[in-house]
Structure 1
Amino acid sequence: MKHTPLNLNSSIKRNNRLNKLYKSLITVFTFSVLALVLALLGRIVKNGLFTINWHFLVGLPDEMLAGGGVGPFLLNSFYILLLSLLISIPIGLGAGIYLAEYAKKNKLTEWISTCVEALASVPSILFGLFGYVLFVQVFNIGLTVIGAAVTLSFLNLPVLTRVTEESLRSVPSSFREASYALGASKATCIITVIIPAALKGIFTGISLAACRALGESAIILLAGGTSASDKMWDFSLTAPGATLPVQLWYVLSAAVVPDATKIADQAAALLVVIVLLLSLIIRLPFMIKRK
């Protein structure tokens, strides 16, 4: 059946109207979500950020009196995050490189990829229970910094592996062909061509994993405990491993200090700012390079 010019023009106009309607709906939804997120973040920051002082950042917490700080919990947050990334990044990158560049496409590798995807969606509390059983019941070392860091690295591994694999697969095959044509070996091609081309996606995955780990509480609660060291600069791996999110939960649920609400507002605002800054710092080199 042939379309007359009149019917064709009518169809084009109808499709254009539908496209404009869909675009308008998507724009409204996008800005509505953005406005909601900004409003929540703005409220959190407004309630606590402007009352934070140096003593709050480096001071020791107090169980009974007002005016305590969150110094050991803040230190543990960065310390445990750093240790977990030192463990998970090399293993996650290596696994992603193997799956993307070396593993043959067969049922075994498909099963491995499925397992990685499944682990990435496992609730964090299950990783926490695993860490509790491993470090508290099996190794009998208690709730510690090292237990929290290793357990947190288990949470990061599936995400880092999957993001690395997909980032490497997204590199055009022409890059590999050009490298091989110049006489490069497979390892040389991966190190000098493929990984640099995929760095933006890999660093995005690291940023997501790091920010998620920094705000994690269930794993830390079960593997690190609810208390921190009684010293500010304690880098012992066997010290109590509570972090800032755990302290935030504890202050709101069980603390008896009179300024518990104020401490919670300050800790929440501080955590939001740290996560935003961490994400910005990791992405900053690519933002500068783009300019």
Structure 2
Amino acid sequence: MTGFKLSRKTSRSLLWDRIATGCFYALGAVILLLVFWLLFTILSKGLPQISWDFLIKLPEEIDAGGGIGPMLFNSFYILFLSLLISVPIGVGAGIYMAEYAPNNRFTEILRICVESLSSVPSIVFGLLGLAIFAEYFGIGLTILGGAVSLAFLNLPMLARVTEEAVRAVPNELRHAAYGLGTTQFHMIRTVVIPTAMQAIITGICLVAGRAFGESAVIILTAGLSTSGEMWDFNLFSPGETLAVHLWYVQSEAIVEDARQIADKAAAVLVFVVLLINMVFRVPLWINNRKLRK
């Protein structure tokens, strides 16, 4: 009798396991279909119409046929500057919180503050950048202000992702490194960071994609215009990006082909975000395949 009850319980558990597995597969399929539908909808409207002239030409205020050259350049330029600031500081802060910070009340409060900053709306960082650069320093709406404000926006997320990635490294690896006579810094550099690198790169991908597509911060700190030059490296020039230009064209532009420009700009924006993820991911995939062999 007992064996019969155990058999029924096992059969019921297996049934629920199959049901749960099927539900999770169905949810995964729905999410994938939704993502592919969004990508297809955006890319199919814009990609066939994109030409090289569109990518390098200056925008037009009245006539049709304008391009996105300066805005596309500003997007990459501001993204590069923001990552140049946020990656060393964010990764360093995450390593400090995981490896060096003492386990006390101050550290817990600091960790809560960082987590809270990660969920603050981006427009708040835009207002902060506006107050610092436009009002306090009086330099106006510039590429520098936009890049630093984006770095402020991405720092909390990058620090938390790095901290969790470092904490996920097994302590056995640390103990083995210490057993070989290494110092803490050498252990972090040669053992912890290489092991946690994939998760850290994932965090950098997230903040890079967020920074490239951000508009609220850029509107308040870099402005709604460009210098009118294709390659303007001046940090104090206005820095309208592609995401801001997409919003402007869709909502306020008076050119007759505004909808076509918006469709093409959206396709370029999505394609570049996907490209950024591929650029960061492909070296990791190649490295993982080499390690498995």
Same fold by TM-score greater than 0.5: yes
Query: What is the alpha-carbon distance in structure 2 between the residues aligned to residue 186 and residue 40 of structure 1?
Result: 47
2:150 aligned partner, one-letter code: L
Which residue number corresponds to residue 83 of structure 2?
85
Which residue number corresponds to residue 287 of structure 1?
285
Which residue number corresponds to residue 256 of structure 1?
254
Which residue number corresponds to residue 219 of structure 1?
217
Q: 1:174 offset after TM fit, Å?
A: 1.2
Mapping for residues 1-291 of structure 1, pairs under 5 Å: 4-291=2-289
Query: What is the alpha-carbon distance in structure 2 between the residues aligned to residue 176 and residue 39 of structure 1?
Result: 45
Greater mean deviation of Cα atoms: 275-284 or 185-194: 185-194
2:57 aligned partner, one-letter code: G
2:193 aligned partner, one-letter code: I
1:288 aligned partner, one-letter code: I
Query: What is the alpha-carbon distance in structure 2 between the residues aligned to residue 93 and residue 289 of structure 1?
Result: 21
Coordinate RMSD, CA, aligned? 0.9
Q: 1:290 offset after TM fit, Å?
A: 2.3
What SS class does the counterpart of residue 114 from structure 1 fall into?
helix
2:230 aligned partner, one-letter code: M
2:85 aligned partner, one-letter code: I
Q: 1:259 offset after TM fit, Å?
A: 0.3
Q: 1:103 offset after TM fit, Å?
A: 0.6
Unaligned runs of 5+ in 1: none
Q: 1:42 offset after TM fit, Å?
A: 0.4
Query: What is the alpha-carbon distance in structure 2 between the residues aligned to residue 32 and residue 94 of structure 1?
Result: 38
Query: What is the alpha-carbon distance in structure 2 between the residues aligned to residue 287 and residue 178 of structure 1?
Result: 26
TM-score, structure 1 as length reference: 0.98
Per-residue deviation, residues 170-212 of structure 1 (Å, max 9, x unmatched): 1111111111111111111111111111111111110111011
Q: 1:289 offset after TM fit, Å?
A: 1.7
TM-score, structure 2 as length reference: 0.97
Per-residue deviation, residues 263-288 of structure 1 (Å, max 9, x unmatched): 00000000010000100110111111
What SS class does the counterpart of residue 62 from structure 2 fall into?
coil
Query: What is the alpha-carbon distance in structure 1 between the residues aligned to residue 68 and residue 237 of structure 2?
Result: 16
Query: What is the alpha-carbon distance in structure 2 between the residues aligned to residue 24 and residue 228 of structure 1?
Result: 52
Query: What is the alpha-carbon distance in structure 2 between the residues aligned to residue 46 and residue 106 of structure 1?
Result: 54
Query: What is the alpha-carbon distance in structure 2 between the residues aligned to residue 92 and residue 36 of structure 1?
Result: 32
Query: What is the alpha-carbon distance in structure 1 between the residues aligned to residue 108 and residue 234 of structure 2?
Result: 41
Query: What is the alpha-carbon distance in structure 1 between the residues aligned to residue 209 and residue 187 of structure 2?
Result: 31
Q: 1:107 offset after TM fit, Å?
A: 0.3
1:251 aligned partner, one-letter code: V
Regions of 4+ moved over 2 Å: none
2:192 aligned partner, one-letter code: I
Unaligned runs of 5+ in 2: none
1:82 aligned partner, one-letter code: F
Query: What is the alpha-carbon distance in structure 2 between the residues aligned to residue 80 and residue 285 of structure 1?
Result: 24
